[in-house]
Amino acid sequence: MAAVKMPGVVLAAVAMAAGLLMAGCLDQAICRNGEYPAAQVGNTGRTCVPDGQEPPAGYVRYPPGQEPQRTDDEWDVYWRTHVIDATGAVVEVRN
């Protein structure tokens, strides 16, 4: 079976489409509408909680104004290296 040769224009279009799809996937909302993010105590994990409900055991609300909203936004990046400990203090994670 002979190999199919694609012109450079087609390859560029395919590469651009793939890049746009991947970029769109990276800028996703942290939680769905009707939910808010909650931080796992002492860990960089998080969960989404329905609006009007308190976080489950082991989770707390992020400090006001420091809630991550979208993947890779300022607070999403920040909370990858910081945690809220059992006393409520924000602590930098040591690697």
**Which residue is it, tokens 């409520």?**
88
Q: What is the pLDDT of residues 43-94, one digit of tens each?
A: 999 999 999 999 999 999 999 999 999 999 999 999 999 999 999 999 999 8
Q: What is the pLDDT of residues 16-50, one digit of tens each?
A: 544 444 444 557 999 999 999 999 999 999 999 99
Q: What are phi and psi of 22, to 5 degrees?
A: -65, -40
Q: What is the pTM of this model?
A: 0.71
Residue 59, C-beta contacts closer than 8 angstroms, at least 6 positions apart: 38, 39, 40, 41, 46, 47, 49
